Amino acid sequence: MHDPKYLRDNLDFIRTSLGRRGQDVAWDAVQKLSDERRTLTTQVEQLRSELKKGSDEVARLRRAKEPAEAAMAAMKGLGDRIKEVEDNLRGVEEALSDLALRIPNLPHQTVPLGSDASDNVEVRRWGTIPSFTAPAKPHWEIGEALGILDFDRAAKIAGARFAVLSGAGARMERALINYMLDLHTGSHGYREVLPPLLVNRRTMTGTGQLPKFEDDLFRLRDEDYFLIPTAEVPVTNLHREEILSEDRLPIRYTAYTPCFRREAGSYGKDTRGLIRLHQFNKVELVAFSTPDRSYEELERLTGHAEFILQSLNLPYRVVTLCTGDMGFSATKTYDIEVWLPSQGQYREISSCSNFESFQARRANIKYRPAGGKKDAKAEFVHTLNGSGLAVGRTLVAILENFQQPDGSVLIPEALHPYMGGIKKIQPWPDGS
C-alpha cells in the first residue's frame, strides 16, 4: 500500500510509473474518493469540536449549579448529524482503501523496463552445465523409474498437481529441508521459525495476497482461514502492529513450510512432474531492515539462497525481473534460475524481493530509530524475502543434473550426512 498522502499528491506520477502494471486500477475513483475523504474529514472534525465545546459548557454550568437545559437543547441533534457525516466518511474510506490496496508497488530505479519475462536482465551465471551422451531425461521419468516419485497414486488420493515421494525421494526432500535450515541458521545468521500454515484474512492482506489475489489461494469453507502460499505470509506478519527498536534490526528469519497454491490460470503449464504443484515445500528467508540498508540486505539474502545451489554444485543464473514481470508488492526482485538439462533452460528456483515499506505499511510494522534524540519518531521498516530454496525444484534439479547413464542419481556431497550414508539413488527393486 502506498502512503495515502503521497498517493493523493502524486497520483499521476504513480499512474505513469506503473504503466501497464496499473492498468486495472480505478484511478479516477481513487482521485475522487481521496478528495471526498478530505472534505468529509474536515467536516467531521469541525462538528466534533463544536460538540465537545458544548458538552464542556454543560459540565461547567452544572458544576456552577446554573441551568444547563438551554445548552443541552442546543447540542441535541448534533450527535446525529455527526453520525451521518461519519457514516459517509466511513463508506468513502472503505471504498478508497479497497481500491488503494489493489495498487501495485512502484519499481526501484535500478529495475529494467520491460513487459514480460523476455525483458528480464541476466546478472550472473554460476557453475558448469553438464553434458550428456544421451538426451537428458526429465525428472519425472527418472523418479518414476527409481520408484521414488509417484504421480498416479498422488492423482488418486488428491488429484492433478500433487506428488507422492517415497523411499530415497522422501528422504532427500527431508534432507534438503534440514540442510537448508542448518545452513541458514548456522552460517547465515537467520532464526528458525515454524509458523501456522493457516492464517486469517488480516494476515493475507498484510503481505499483499489480499484483496487482489484471493483466487490464487486455498480457503477453508467453514471458517475464514487461508492456506499459506508461502512462509513469507505468516513470518512477515509475525511483527504486524509492532514497533521494533532499531537495535534489533535487521531481523532475519528462516522458515520451512509447505506452500499451497491453486495455480488458477496456469492450466497446461508444467503439467508433468514436480515443477508446479498445489502443495510444495519451501525454505523461506525473511528480513526486516531499516530503509537505508534494505538493498544491501537484498543482495545478502540473494547470496544466501545462491550459496545453497553452489554448495550442491547446481548450475544457475540470477536475473533481475523487469518492471512488467515483477510481483504486485515488490520494488525489486532477483530470480535465481537453476539449470534443468531435460528442458535445456534455466528455471526459477528462488525469488528474492525487497518490498520497501509496501508490506510494512499494510501490516503496520515500524521501528523506532535509536540515538535517544527527541525526534525518534517511529518509521516503517522495509521487508524482504526470498526462497532459500524451493525444495521440490531443488530435488528436480538434482535428479536431472546428476542422472547417470544407468538410471541412478548421484547425491551431492553436501547432502551425504543428511542421507544416512547413501551416496547414490538406485532403482527400488520391485518398482512399487
Q: Tell me if 48 contacts RNA by CB under 7 A.
A: yes
Q: Tell me if 51 contacts RNA by CB under 7 A.
A: yes
In the range 100-159, which residues lie near RNA by CB under 7 A?
none
Cβ of residue 174: shortest distance to RNA, in angstroms?
20
Figure out which of the listed residues 25, 26, 78, 95 binds RNA, where binding follows CB under 7 A: 78
What's the CA gap between 229 and 259, in Å, rounded?
A: 5
Figure out which of the listed residues 65, 76, 124, 269 binds RNA, where binding follows CB under 7 A: 76
Stretch that binds RNA, among 43-51, 91-99, 112-120, 207-215 (CB under 7 A): 43-51
CA distances 365 to 100, 106, 378, Å, are 18, 19, 10
Number of amino acids touching RNA (CB under 7 A): 30
What's the CA gap between 99 and 393, in Å, rounded?
A: 36
Note if 413 is an active site residue.
no
Q: Tell me if 81 contacts RNA by CB under 7 A.
A: no
* DSSP labels, 14-63: HHHHHGGGGTTS-HHHHHHHHHHHHHHHHHHHHHHHHHHHHHHHHHHHHH
Contacts of 401 (CB under 8 A, 6+ apart): 130, 314, 315, 339, 340, 341
The one catalytic residue in 48, 262, 276, 368 is: 276
Q: How many residues can be counted in the chain?
A: 432
Note if 261 is an active site residue.
yes
Cβ of residue 98: shortest distance to RNA, in angstroms?
16
**Which residue bears the cell 535509536?**
370
The one catalytic residue in 37, 161, 252, 261 is: 261
Q: Tell me if 197 contacts RNA by CB under 7 A.
A: no
The one catalytic residue in 348, 368, 379, 408 is: 348
Residue with Cβ nearer RNA (55 or 313)? 55
Closest C-alpha to 328, from 93, 24, 10: 24
Q: Tell me if 170 contacts RNA by CB under 7 A.
A: no
Cβ of residue 54: shortest distance to RNA, in angstroms?
5
Q: Tell me if 420 contacts RNA by CB under 7 A.
A: no
What's the CA gap between 220 and 243, in Å, rounded?
A: 31
Note if 276 is an active site residue.
yes
Can you say whether the dihedral through the CA atoms of 195, 148, 274, 404 is positive or negative?
A: positive
In the range 339-368, which residues lie near RNA by CB under 7 A?
366
The grid coordinates of residue 78 equal: 448534533
Cβ of residue 33: shortest distance to RNA, in angstroms?
13
Figure out which of the listed residues 13, 20, 35, 38 binds RNA, where binding follows CB under 7 A: 38
The grid coordinates of residue 398 equal: 538434482
Cβ of residue 71: shortest distance to RNA, in angstroms?
7
Q: Is residue 17 within 8 Å of residue 104, measured between CB atoms?
A: no
Q: Tell me if 427 contacts RNA by CB under 7 A.
A: no
Stretch that binds RNA, among 47-55, 120-128, 206-214, 309-317 (CB under 7 A): 47-55
Cβ of residue 289: shortest distance to RNA, in angstroms?
18
The grid coordinates of residue 213 equal: 489475489
Q: Tell me if 7 contacts RNA by CB under 7 A.
A: no
At residue 39's C-alpha, the angle toward residues 35 and 45, to 5°, is: 145
Cβ of residue 251: shortest distance to RNA, in angstroms?
17
In the range 210-249, which residues lie near RNA by CB under 7 A?
243
What's the CA gap between 227 and 260, in Å, rounded?
A: 6
Figure out which of the listed residues 20, 62, 156, 191 binds RNA, where binding follows CB under 7 A: 62
Cβ of residue 52: shortest distance to RNA, in angstroms?
5
SS3 content of the chain, % helix, strand, coil (to 5): 45, 20, 35
At residue 7's C-alpha, the angle toward residues 6 and 12, to 5°, is: 110
Q: Tell me if 290 contacts RNA by CB under 7 A.
A: no
Q: Tell me if 65 contacts RNA by CB under 7 A.
A: no
Figure out which of the listed residues 16, 17, 49, 271 binds RNA, where binding follows CB under 7 A: 49
Q: Tell me if 404 contacts RNA by CB under 7 A.
A: no
Stretch that binds RNA, among 36-44, 246-254, 267-275, 403-411 (CB under 7 A): 36-44
Residue 137 neighbours by CB distance under 10 Å: 17
Closest C-alpha to 257, from 233, 221, 289: 233
In the range 243-282, which residues lie near RNA by CB under 7 A?
243
* DSSP labels, 383-425: EEEEEEEEHHHHHHHHHHHTB-TTS-EEPPGGGGGGTTT--EE
Which active-site residues does the annotation give?
261, 276, 348, 351, 393
Please give the residue ranges that form the binding site for RNA (CB under 7 A): 4-5, 38, 41-42, 44-45, 48-49, 51-52, 54-56, 58-59, 62, 68, 72, 75-76, 78-79, 83, 90, 243, 366, 372, 377-378
